[in-house]
A and B are shown apart, each in its own frame.
Chain A
Amino acid sequence: MKLWIYILLIACVGGLIACENEKNTFSDQPSIYIKGDPDQQATADSVLFSFKKSDKTVETYDLNVVIYTTGVVSEYPRTFELEVVSEGTNVTSDDYSIGKMELPAGAYYATVPITVNRTVGGLDLTQEIATLTLRVKANENFEVGAEEYMQFKLCWCDYLIQPAWWTLYGFTSDAGPFTQARYQFILDYYGDVDLFEMGIVDPITGYAADYNKQYAFIAELIELLNEYNATHEEPYLNDNEEPLEFGSGLTY
Chain B
Amino acid sequence: MTGISLFTLLFATSCLKDEGNYDYVELEDFYVDTVGVRHNFTVKQFESFELTPKLIYEGDKSSLEYKWELYKSEDISIGASSYGTGFAHNYTRDDYPDYTLANTEDLSVVISAVPGSYYLVFTATEPKTGVKAMMDYQLQVEGAIGTGLVVLYQGISGIDIDVVSSPVFNGSLTEATFARHAYSTTNESRPFAGEPRELVAAIYPANSYYYIYLTSTEDAVRLSSIDMSVAEEFEEMFAGKAPEKKDLSHIIVNGTAHFFVNDGVAYKCNYSSALMTPLAMRNGMYEAVATNFTYGGNSVWYDALNRRFLHSMMWSAEIAPIINASGAFDFGNVGKDLIHWSKGYYQGNEYANYCFFKNPTEDGQRYLYVFLADQSSGNSFTAKCAMDISACPEIAMAQSFATGERGPVVFYATEEQVYRMTYNIDEGTSSAESVWLPAAGESITRIELFKNAGINLENSALDKYLLVSTFQEATGKGKIYIIPSDISSGVLESEPAAVYEFDGRIADFDFIAQ
Contacts and interface: CB of A to CB of B under 8 A. Distances in A.
Contacts of A217: 240, 317
Given A174-B317, A247-B318, A248-B316, A219 B280 contact: yes
B276 A212 contact: yes
B462 interface: no
Interface residues of A, number: 24
Interface in A207-230: 208, 210-223, 226, 229
A223 B285 CA distance: 9
A121 B67 CA distance: 94
A199 to B, nearest CB: 10
A128 B87 CA distance: 66
A33 interface: no
B317 A247 contact: yes
Interface in A151-179: 170, 174-175
Interface string B307-341: 00000010111100000000000000000000000
Contacts of A215: 239, 277, 316-317
A213 B282 contact: no
Given A174-B315, A248-B313, A248-B316, A219 B270 contact: no
A219 B279 contact: yes
Contact of B317 (A210, A218, A226, A229): A218
A215 B278 CA distance: 8
Query: Which of B272, B282, B316, B317 counts the most chain A CB atoms within 10 A?
Result: B317
A101 B144 CA distance: 74
A211 B270 contact: yes
B272 A211 contact: yes
A167 B241 CA distance: 25
Query: Which of B241, B281, B315 counts the most chain A CB atoms within 10 A?
Result: B315
B444 interface: no
A212 B280 contact: no
Given A216-B238, A216-B317, A247-B317, A223 B280 contact: yes
B275 A210 contact: yes
B273 interface: yes
B275 A219 contact: no
Contacts of B120: none
Contacts of B317: 174-175, 214-219, 222, 247-248
A174 B316 contact: yes
Nearest to A200: B239
Nearest to B319: A219
Contacts of A170: 315
A226 B273 CA distance: 27
Nearest to A248: B316
A212 B313 contact: no
Contacts of A175: 317
26 contacts: A170-B315, A174-B315, A210-B273, A210-B275, A211-B272, A212-B239, A212-B270, A212-B272, A212-B273, A213-B273, A213-B275, A213-B277, A219-B240, A219-B278, A220-B240, A222-B281, A222-B317, A223-B278, A223-B280, A226-B282, A226-B285, A247-B282, A247-B316, A247-B317, A248-B313, A248-B318
Interface of B: 238-241, 269-270, 272-273, 275-285, 313, 315-318
Given A216-B275, A216-B278, 13 more contacts: A170-B315, A208-B272, A210-B275, A212-B272, A212-B276, A216-B238, A217-B240, A217-B317, A218-B280, A218-B318, A219-B278, A245-B282, A247-B317
